Amino acid sequence: MSVSIDQIFVSGKRWLLSWLAGTPDWAIQIASSLINIFALLAVFLTLFALMSVLERKILGRIQNRYGPNRVGPFGLLQPVADGIKMLVKEDIVPVRADKIVHFLAPVLIAATAILALGIIPYGRNLTPFTIDGGILFFFAVGSTTELAVFMAGWGSNNKFSMLGAMRAIAQMISYELPLIITVLPVVMIVGSLTPDTIVAAQDGYVFGFVPRWFVFTPWGATAFILFFVSGLVESNRTPFDVPEGESEIVAGHMTEYSGFKYATFFMAEYIGMFAITGLATTLFLGGWHAPVRALEFIPSYVWFFVKLGALLFVYIWLRGTLPRTRVDQIMNFAWKFMLPMAFTCVIAAAVWHYAGRGLRGWLWSLVVIAIAYTALSIVLDTRRKFAPRTYRFAE
Amino acid sequence: MNSAAFIVIGILTLAAALAAATLPKLMHAALSFAVTFLGIAAFFFLLGAEFVGLVQVFVYIGAVAVLIVFTILLTRRDIEKDRGFNWSGVVVAIGVFGGLIWAIFKTQSLSGVAPEMPVLTVKHIGEVLMSGYVWPLLCVGLLLTAALIGALILVMEDREEVKKVK
């Protein structure tokens, strides 16, 4: 029974494809891909709608107010109202803007965000597209976002847009490095770039009750935190949302966008967030595996979305708690702290592997992480160096 | 199916390359150059070289195209100005094209039927890189590190000079 519920989507797809029996192979292949794409879009656009209203609700709760509660029961139909509002708004294109580039930027940014969703295993046998270098695909697609942001900034022909795009690209490039390097230890330990293999490697329990997730090893925990923070920056979320800092540059690269194009940017940001948290779940939190053996009867995709939801809640929580950081603080943090720590994770993972992947390896890798962390915090300590602030202006 | 895909991708890539060479605005040319990179990546995918294709997207669109675009933005003041037609570029392009065509037709193995290739996984590539080609790999790594340090030294501010400006 539990197996059939677990595989209900797989058998559902098989049933749909059985209607095509007798047609040539390529037709079945195309139909199969289309079903995957349709399912992905349906699930994640619903999740986007749900997330947008839940975020406002939770933020309201954090800031001691109600949040949206007028449209539908508990304000749950708010995204529908928002969507209609965005659709009927006038689409304004600045006269001096580069029409084609201005139009293509939101399209490209949404397309890349959605593409990245394709390689994540959402449950047992529920990977939409299995690619040999799936992790590489994720980052290859993600790196295209920078060009899309640039197109938005340059195409708008507005100095705020351009400044926002520059800030966005600068921080995206800086944090892409720790983001990718924190993935390296997982890839090294598993010996594969395929998400399915990585999830399969996290099956089982140590001592019979601790799940074999990478987040429970010292290097895995460190890499997970670094990955999570880098993911926060990559999706331009508070406290790292300087690219769209309202108080300084209106809305960054989205300044000149209105109506549905703005909604597309908004959607791309959320979908990017789902993708990055989904990858974090896959890499460090055991993917769709249950945390306790007794709970394995619950379908795998439920576990995946529970973990995804928990991470997304932390995103919202941080947004409601932390103020925006300064641009130079973000950059210094990336190059002086995140990057060396990410390299330490790689070394710690190697130590863990060569010390036998057991308790001994656990302790040794903890020692490596602790030494690097202490050394970095001593070197980067600026407590004694505060001097009167000086300003330098462009010559 | 494959030859149809080849033709479609080929036309798109060539069109993007032509656009990159002829579009009046420099920024448009740079962006269509990125499309050309994507077309080449698509060719790699078509040939079953997924890894190379992904690296092509990753490095050329994610890094090189962004670099080109930023270089144009930060160095040129006449982005909006139309550029004239450059005949020397045409001569160089025809020369390179002719040379390549000549070299390709001189290749001996071209006349035979392509041998059946085993599916190449990322793991194979990693193993080969780490065993047979470890010296070239290390040399490239050293070169890139040297380039990185060189770039850092170029942009490093001289402490003394900064103080003088203040």
pLDDT tens, A33-69? 888 888 889 999 889 988 888 888 888 888 888 888 8
C-alpha dist (Å) from residue A211 to A216, A296, A348: 8, 12, 20
At residue B98, the pLDDT reads 93
- Rounded CA-CA distance A347/A363 in Å is 14
Q: Per-residue pLDDT tens for A277-322?
A: 999 999 898 888 888 777 777 888 888 899 999 999 999 999 888 8
Q: What would the mean pLDDT of A374-390 be, rounded to a whole number?
A: 76
Judged by DSSP in three states, A206 sits in strand
ipTM of model over 0.85: no
A101 with B28: Cβ contact below 8 A: yes
pLDDT in tens, A132-145: 888 888 988 888 88
Give the gap in angstroms from C-alpha B84 to the nearest C-alpha of chain A: 21
Higher pLDDT, B77 or A118: A118
CA distance B106 to B110: 8
> B30 contacts in A (CB within 8 Å)?
none
How far does the CA of residue B122 sit from the closest CA of chain A (Å)?
6
Of A105, A110, A119, A109, the residue nearest A40 (C-alpha): A119
How sure is the predictor about A261, in pLDDT bands with cuts at 50, 70 and 90? confident
pLDDT in tens, A137-193: 898 888 888 888 888 888 888 888 888 888 888 888 888 889 999 999 998 888 888
Tell me which of A2-6, A54-58, A130-134, A327-331 is least confident: A2-6
CATH number of B1-80: 1.20.120.1200
| pLDDT for position A28 | 81
Chain B contacts of A98, Cβ < 8 Å? Answer: 25, 27-28
Q: To the nearest whole angstrom, how far is the Cα of A142 from the nearest Cα of chain B? A: 8
**Listed range (A90-104, B110-124, B138-152) with the worst mean pLDDT:** B110-124
Q: What is the pLDDT of residue B142?
A: 95
pLDDT at A393: 77
Pairing mode, if any, of strands A205-206 and A210-211? Answer: antiparallel
In this prediction the pTM is 0.84
Q: What is the mean pLDDT of residues A236-255?
A: 78
- Residue B160: predicted pLDDT: 61
Among A108, A115, A143, A393, the residue to mutate for chain B (most B Cβ within 10 A): A143
Q: Which helix (H) or strand (E) holds A237?
A: none
Question: Is B54 close to A136, i.e. CB distance below 8 A?
Answer: yes
Residue B38 has pLDDT above 70, yes or no: yes
Q: Which two tokens stand for residue B90?
A: 């045409």
Tokens of A318: 């941080």
Q: Closest chain A residue to B28 measured between Cα atoms?
A: A101
Amino acid present at A364? W
Summarised one tens digit per residue, pLDDT across range A202-228 is: 887 877 778 888 888 888 899 999 999
Sort out which chain B residues have CB atoms less than 8 A from A133's CB and list them. Answer: 50-51, 54, 122
A184-203 as b/e, with b when 16 or more CB fall inside 10 Å?
bbbbebbebbbbbbbbbbbe
CB-side neighbour CA atoms (13 Å) of B72: 18
Q: How many Å apart are CA A306 and CA A227, to the nearest integer?
A: 19
Angle, helices A8-18 vs A25-62, to 10°: value is 140
Question: What's residue B159's pLDDT?
Answer: 62
Q: Scanning every residue of chain A, which has its alpha carbon at the shortest distance from the alpha carbon of B72?
A: A154
Q: Which segment of A54-58, A90-94, B33-37 scores lowest on mean pLDDT?
A: A90-94
* Residues of B contacting chain A (CB within 8 angstroms): 1, 25, 27-28, 31, 34, 50-51, 54-55, 57-58, 61-63, 65-66, 69-70, 73, 121-123, 165-166
pLDDT at residue A213, rounded to an integer: 87
Could you tell me if A29 and A102 are in contact, meaning their C-beta atoms sit under 8 angstroms apart? Answer: no
pLDDT for residue A242: 77
The DSSP code sequence of A117-170 is HTT---STT--SS--TTHHHHHHHHHHHHHHHHHHHHHHTT-HHHHHHHHHHHH
Alpha carbon distance A139, A37 (integer Å):
19
- Helix A259-284 to helix A78-88 angle (10° resolution) is 140
Q: Which sign does the torsion angle of CA A300, A302, A308, A310 carry?
A: negative
Q: Which of A101, A136, A151 sits opposite B58 (nearest CB)?
A: A136
